[in-house]
Amino acid sequence: MTLTEDRSAATGTSAARHAMIVSQLRTSGVNEPWVLEAMAAVPREDYIPAALHDAAYIDRSIPLANGRFLAAPLVHGKMLAEAAPAKTDKVLLVGDGEGYLATLLRPLAGSLDAVDPSAAAGMTGEGGYSLIIVDGAIEELPEALGAQLAEGGRIVTGLVVRGISRLATGCKTAGAVSLLPLAELGIPALPEFAAPKRWSF
């Protein structure tokens, strides 16, 4: 690739990232400067297969390897805004520790640990996390994951309610974690967090 082509490609992705900020995030109520700055600085195309680079900034999820998805920009923007991570936070990300959301979170949090969704339900002990973020939608929160949240800690996740995924937030009070569904969003579901099938008559 020539230098001219390199500059053209960079300009194209920068313009697409700017359009994401203006036409997807701002128009949907994500206006926190620190969220917009974080998402303007991280190239989404670095976290998807090369063949899909042209789709890096579309307003829908993008398939990755092993049945995973990169959620739409609005999902991650809303998650960050609701989570409001601070340098005082010990954060647990349920998702790819080297992925897009982890890269957005790392400079904002005091510390960041990550666990793959396939291992989250088997976590042991109490992690003492002040914030847990699940990069995907769940049907049910495993007790083992809830146990990782410190008393008074908060959680941001996608939540599947009657087949519809919504952004949800919650906190841990008196040892129990309760989730409050918020806006309806197209958040990719995590099969590891599907609710057990129950008989109905």
- Give the pLDDT confidence of 122-136 residue by residue, as tens digits: 999 889 999 999 999
Instruction: Answer yes or no: is pLDDT of 195 > 90.
Output: no
Three-state SS for the chain is CCHHHHHHHHHHHHHHHHHHHHHHHHHHCCCCHHHHHHHHHCCHHHHCCHHHHHHCCCCCCEECHHHCEECCHHHHHHHHHHHCCCCCCEEEEECCCCCHHHHHHCCCCCEEEEECHHHHCCCCCCCCEEEEEEEEEECCCCHHHHCCEEEEEEEEEEEEECCEEEEEEEEEECCEEEEEEEEECCCCECHHHCCCCCCCC
Contact at 8 Å (CB) between 91 and 131? yes
Segments making up each domain of the chain, as ranges: 3-193
What digits encode the pLDDT tens for the residues 43-71?
999 999 999 999 999 999 999 988 899 99
Give the per-residue pLDDT at 75.
98
Task: Give the predicted TM-score (pTM) of the model.
Answer: 0.90
pLDDT band at 155; cut points 50, 70, 90: very high
Give the per-residue pLDDT at 97.
96
Contact at 8 Å (CB) between 183 and 161? no
Instruction: Answer yes or no: is pLDDT of 6 > 90.
Output: no
What digits encode the pLDDT tens for the residues 10-30?
456 889 999 999 999 999 999
Contact at 8 Å (CB) between 132 and 120? no
186's tokens: 């197209």
Give the per-residue pLDDT at 66.
81
The alpha-carbon radius of gyration of the chain (Å, integer) is 17
Task: Give the C-alpha separation, 120 to 9, whole Å.
Answer: 38
pLDDT band at 2; cut points 50, 70, 90: very low
Task: Give the C-alpha separation, 76 to 82, whole Å.
Answer: 10
Query: For 3-193, CATH number?
Result: 3.40.50.150
Greater confidence (120 vs 13) lies with: 120
Give the per-residue pLDDT at 11.
58
Contact at 8 Å (CB) between 45 and 56? yes
